[in-house]
Amino acid sequence: MQVALAIQSGDARTLQEQVFDQIRDMILTGRLQSGDPVPGSRALAEQLGISRNTVIIAYDKLLAEGYLECQRNIGTFVSRSLPDWETRPLLPVPAEGEAAEGTLLGRIAAQAPQVHCVRNPDAARLHTDFWIGRVDARAFPQTEWRRLLEAKLRYGGAMLSQYGDPQGLPELRAAISDHIGPVRGVAVDPDEIVVVGGSQDGLMLIARAFAGFAGTFLHEDPGYQGARYLFEAAGYDCAAVPVDREGLVVSMLPEARNSILYVTPSHQFPTGVTLSLERRLELLAWAERTDSLMLEDDYDGDFRYDGTPLTALRGLDRTGRVIYLGTFSKSLGPSLRLGFIAASHATAQVLARWKQLASNGQPWIIQATMADFMNSGGYTRHLRRIRALYMRRRDTLIAALERYFPQSEITGRRGGMHLSWQVPMACGPAARLQELAQARGIGVYTPDCGGACLSPGNTRHANTLLMGYAAIDEARIERP
Ligand SMILES: Cc1ncc(COP(=O)(O)O)c(C=O)c1O
């Protein structure tokens, strides 16, 4: 075993004192615990580039003072007879919920950010779960991925053990650029793409990169908790802008300069409405007038069932003010943690630098497999397959809702993976219906339970239930 010791050449202490002090501190701060083995004297001497005698002298002192014990023919260990209090960290770590107040750690803990729920905590108790955005795991293209992954492992060579381009694997950026051009009308060069760990990671990079430059963070009401909570936690002033049947009400946007506006134009989260072309153009004019930026989250833009999809905002943008966020979380699954940002060249380069500082880029093996999957045509085939599957499920759900609740108002049916159902007055409050359904093993969700933030005065969307249908077989949707 190795321990993280280092010999400092300018240190006034002797070499044996340095070894003694560092091992003792590791024991006292809990990094080495009672019963843990320590390296043999020969191995440690080699590791530190010092003589074995020096280590033996330091170990003898640690043995003499009771920090270490020797077991004949086995090795040297942290003493098992050290009382608990001695092995506690020297730095006071506040016990949970107490003593923390006023200390740095206590203040940090008290201000821990709100987080959105990405997994349904009640899933195990449900037999039919309409959780929003849930992907059908059975539809994952396992055979193709296994083959491509294995090839990468076998022939990856040096790439398996070195850092790659923090902006993202060039082959993957090229494949993404080829994909979103025709499919979403977003014409970008591979240089204008940054590969990220899902849209959330992209939002985090943007929040960091623009902190101190951008003013208010504006978002839709109702809107996506994951974006609002993040920018709030990053210290931005946040404000909500209402959404109606045509999406964000652009006329209600403040004329505040240098704002950042987060929008979901293709399938508004959570209502599912599509932002009209007229409003898209108004938005671009607003951004130019106020010198603001827009974050276009196209989280489920791969799924459009009726009519041609509207060109993404980024595809209409002539001034580089739209930053497009794409994700593979909905088409393949969030476990890959793979998504991308498409922005102007200058913005992409800034974000690539932040990506390097944040994580030095996404894992090579996943990026390389995804690039091959896209380049071999596998991704397009997969999308075609699951689009047809999800469309059947959408149709089944709409038919069932309309049959049992004839006065239903349903939005978001033209694309995506969930519907927003305005609960008829006669059925009582949506929250009550959610409770009743859960008691019968069925998960349906009010906006706030389904990952949406809703301002307190927003009564228009309060009596709504969100229903994700992509992962549920038609027969179950029909008869849960
Ligand atoms: C509005 C919205 N944006 C983005 C995402 C995807 O996030 P990620 O790509 O980080 O998995 C989700 C996931 O549910 C979402 O609802």
Let me know: does 293 contact 321? Beta carbons within 8 Å: yes
**Contacts with 5 (C-beta within 8 Å, 6 or more apart), sequence order:** 19, 22, 23, 44, 47, 48
Three-class SS string for 357-396?
HHHCCCCHHHHHHHHHHHHCCHHHHHHHHHHHHHHHHHHH
**Does residue 225 have its Cβ closer than 6 Å to ligand 1?**
no
pTM for this entry: 0.81
Let me know: does 222 contact 268? Beta carbons within 8 Å: no
**Does residue 264 have its Cβ closer than 6 Å to ligand 1?**
yes
Rounded to the nearest 5°, which phi and psi values hold at 422? -75, 110
Give pLDDT, residue 121: 79
Rounded to the nearest 5°, which phi and psi values hold at 421? -115, 115
Q: What length is written for the chain? A: 480
The conformation of residue 194, written as its DSSP 8-state character, comes to E
Give pLDDT, residue 12: 86
Tens digits of per-residue pLDDT, 375-405? 999 999 999 999 999 999 999 999 999 999 9
322 token code pair: 């739209």
Give pLDDT, residue 87: 44
**Does residue 331 have its Cβ closer than 6 Å to ligand 1?**
no
d(Cα 88, Cα 450) in Å, to the nearest integer? 42
Give pLDDT, residue 406: 87
Among residues of the chain, what percentage have pLDDT more than 90?
A: 76
Q: How much distance in Å is there from the Cα of 256 to the middle of ligand 1?
A: 27
Say whether pLDDT at 441 is over 90: yes
Tens digits of per-residue pLDDT, 1-37? 678 888 888 888 899 999 998 998 888 777 888 888 9
d(Cα 432, Cα 446) in Å, to the nearest integer? 10
User: Residue 154: exposed, middle, or buried by beta-carbon count in 10 A (0-12, 13-18, 19+)?
Assistant: exposed
Among 372, 367, 363, 368, which Cα is nearest to 162's?
Answer: 363
**Does residue 327 have its Cβ closer than 6 Å to ligand 1?**
yes
Q: How much distance in Å is there from the Cα of 332 to the middle of ligand 1?
A: 13
225-255: burial string, b at 16+ Cβ within 10 Å, e else: bbbbbbbbebebebbbbbbeeebbebeebee
